[in-house]
Amino acid sequence: MSKILEVALGILTSIGGFLDVGAIATAAEAGSSFKFQLLWVILLGTICVIFLVEMSGRLAAVSKHTLADAVRERFGFNFYILPLLAEVIVDFLVLGAEIGGVCIALQLVTGISFQWWAIPVSFAIWLMLWKGNFSLIENGVSFLGLVTLAFVVATFKLRPSLPAVAQGLLPTIPHQDTTHYLFIAVSILGALISPYLFYFYSSGAVEDKWDKDILGVNRAVAGLGMGFGSIVSMAVLIVAALVLNPKGIQVDSYEQAALMLTQPFGYWGFILFAASLGIACFGACLEITLDTAYIVAQAFGWNWGENLHPQEAARFSFVYTIFVFLAALLMVFGIDPLQLTLFSMALTAVILPITIIPFLVLMNDPKYVGEYKNGWMSNSVVIFTIALAFIIAIFAIPLEIIGG
Amino acid sequence: MKKILLTSLLWMLVACNESSSHDKLIKLLTTTHSWTATTQMLGEAWAQGTVPDHYAQETLKKSQAEIAKATQDLTPPPLVSELQQTLQEITTNIEQQNKTALASSLHQLSIEQQQLETLAQAEGVHL
Amino acid sequence: MDVIRDILDNQIVDRNQRKMGKVDGIGIEIRDGQPPRLAYIEIGSTTLARRLHPRLQKWVAALEQKLGIKSNEPFRIPFSQVRDIGIDVDVDLEAEQTPALAYEMWLREHIIKRIPGGL
């Protein structure tokens, strides 16, 4: 496939796959509670993600190792067990929340309670992983995810004041409701800078057999794909700010968020919200389930790969099978999906340092990335992200308790 | 590590002590305001056929539950009880598919919503 | 020793580039008057557990015994059978003929094969 086509495909799938339950929930909360003021947090998180994702692809292409592989190899199992356990626990909770997102979408449309949908949804996820291959999962569902562009179209329809939006892109901290503001800010960052993203990306790069020639494509896809994807996230915030905030609705549940597209689109707006939520979350479910199986298999050196048939990678397939059904139980037992989403985002923020620091070391180690070491810009952004992650890590849980 | 634990502990203590009765009132007012606004938008949307019946009913149930939860451990101002009553009326209107009665209930709701905003201002709460 | 850093925790692949596991442990031979020599590489959950904590190793060993898994001994590959050390550690063996894939084969036969559509 020509390079341009590859870049285009990569960008489209990144846009379609950008939103997930965390991004939607936090953007809706942010827009409804604080109008445009939190836009800068989405921008900040996106910049961090672009660099981390690009690095993840570069590491895989040059070293032919996935991130998980490389971390165990470079730092030893005794170290790696820590980020591994942290990541598996967080993946479990986030997967529960994402499954919840799909179930809520189905509840919105059918009226049947989300608890009943949990097992069927997890079965659908399992079936796609069992029978599908990597391209189908990465490209197929992400293409469907382009339905989330409805939020961007809605933004145009609603005609926001551009100066007001631009002002939101500059960092501010309000004097009122500060704890609530900071909590949402932390949750947005946790939703955007998710470790599963760059673990998954590196595994995908190895599945697709990337090499040095693809580094340019990698940069373009990371930059433009994530960049344009974040516009969809910002669109959710802006729509919530324009539709819900003036009425005084502060999003505390998905039922309230579901109203936001009804103003620009009427009945179809309700359906589009449910479709966006459902498809975006379903895509994320596939990614996270796979990602957990990837990092566990790679940690222990098992055969792994979505392009392999389950019988060729028995332990790998077994892990994702068990994992997805266990995570579904969180929804079966009726845990509130939005609360779980916000909690898992805050927890993600807490484990960020232990995930990113080894990553930084690897990206400067010529043994892994050869002459493609990090430049000063990449290193600066990563160090900044780590510093940010530490600050968030210290304050996230207390904020969760007070401001949640 | 110790510093982190200590900071967290301090934060948690602050959090536990924060629920004074004034804070509970603020929480009640903000919750009520948000969910009645939701009901207002929901009612109008339902009347236009924009949202399905089951969704409207489920969201109404949730509104009532959330407001009821916020009234625990405190004596709610009479306005809140009136609002809860109006919410119940709206629920019945939608169950009975009575759009005319719904319109007048929604009108009633918006008047009460404005009273709520005045009350909040008096308490120094920015809604 | 650089060898330790280079080889420990690396991916092991067999003759057919099939993944066999990671270098969970290494055995070193100490000889009089000569530098220490790498004797074997080891794959095993007990080996891994021991690196974390000796008590954990006993716990894992007891668990495996209870589950009826026959081998208590970790699988050792003599260094003579290591053909190349690069990105991965290439060994001159067939993965499926070694105990390294015991769990993998067991899962495949008893669970994965029983679920339709796995091929």
What distance in Å separates residue C110's CA from the closest CA in chain A?
A: 10
- On the question of pLDDT at C5 being above 70, the answer is no
Contacts of A365 (CB under 8 A, 6+ apart): A74, A373
Evaluate if residue C95 carries a pLDDT over 90: no
Choose between A325 and C3: higher pLDDT.
A325
| Residue A300, min C-alpha distance to chain B (Å) | 30
Using an 8 Å CB-CB cutoff, list chain C residues near A314: 104-105, 107-108, 111-112
Mean pLDDT of chain C: 82
A63 vs C contacts (CB less than 8 Å): 87
Q: What is the pLDDT of residue C53?
A: 85
Residue position matching structure tokens 């609530």: A180
Averaged pLDDT, C33-53 = 84
Q: Report the pLDDT value the prediction gives residue C82, as an integer from 0 to 100.
A: 86
Find chain A residues with C-beta within 8 A of C43's C-beta: 301
Which chains share 3+ C-beta pairs under 8 angstroms with B? A
Reference C93, options C108, C83, C105; nearest CA is C83
Find the chain A residues whose C-beta atoms sit closer than 8 A to any C-beta of B.
107-111, 176, 247-250, 252-253, 255-256, 258-259, 262, 266-267, 269-270, 394-395, 397-399, 401-402
For A287, residues 6+ apart whose C-beta sits below 8 A from its C-beta are A17, A137, A196, A200
What is the rounded distance in angstroms from the CA atom of residue A202 to the CA atom of residue A195?
A: 11
Please name the amino acid found at residue A381: V
> What tokens were used for B122?
């008096």
Q: Does A79 touch chain C (CB under 8 A)?
A: no
Query: What pLDDT does residue A251 have?
Result: 94
User: Rounded to whole angstroms, how far apart are CA atoms A263 and A268?
Assistant: 10
Chain C residue with CA closest to A76: the answer is C9
List C residues 6-35 in contact with A (Cβ-Cβ < 8 A): 8-12, 18-22, 24
A123 close contact with C: CB closer than 8 A: no
Provide the pLDDT for residue B73: 82
- pLDDT, tens digit, 9 for 90 and up, residues A212-262: 888 988 999 999 999 999 999 999 999 999 999 999 999 999 999 999 999
Q: Residue B76: its pLDDT value, please?
A: 87
Residues of A in contact with C113 (CB under 8 A): 311
CB contact under 8 A, C118 and A300: no
Q: A63 — contact with chain C (CB < 8 Å)?
A: yes
Q: Give the span between the Cα atoms of A299 and A77, in whole angstroms.
A: 8
Closest CA to C100 of C58, C59, C41: C41
Give B70-94 pLDDT, tens digit per residue. 998 888 899 999 999 999 999 999 9
B18 touches chain A (CB under 8 A): yes
Give the model's confidence band at C17: pLDDT under 50 very low, under 70 low, under 90 confident, else very high: confident
Chains with ≥3 Cβ pairs under 8 A against A? B, C
Question: Token pair for residue A56?
Answer: 């993840």
Low-confidence stretches of chain A (pLDDT < 70) are 1, 402-404
The rounded distance, in Å, linking the Cα atoms of A279 and A260 is 17
Predicted local confidence at residue C2, as pLDDT = 66
Rounded Cα–Cα distance for residues A390 and A384 (Å):
10
Residue window 43-102, chain C: list those with CB within 8 Å of chain A. Answer: 43, 48, 51-52, 87
pLDDT at C14 exceeding the cut of 60: yes
Instruction: Provide the number of CB pairs (under 8 Å) joining chain A to chain C.
Output: 67
Q: Reduced to 3 states, what is the DSSP secondary structure of residue C23?
A: coil
> What single string gives the DSSP state of each residue in A13-68?
HHHHHH--HHHHHHHHHHHHHHTTTTHHHHHHHHHHHHHHHHHHHHHHHHH---HH
Q: Output the pLDDT for position A403.
A: 57
Tell me whether chains B and C touch (3+ CB pairs under 8 A). Answer: no
pLDDT of residue B118: 93
Residue A261: closest CA among chain B residues belongs to which residue?
Answer: B50
Alpha carbon C103 to chain centroid distance?
A: 12
Say what the pLDDT of residue C49 is.
86
B28-53 pLDDT, tens digit per residue, is 999 999 999 999 999 999 999 999 99
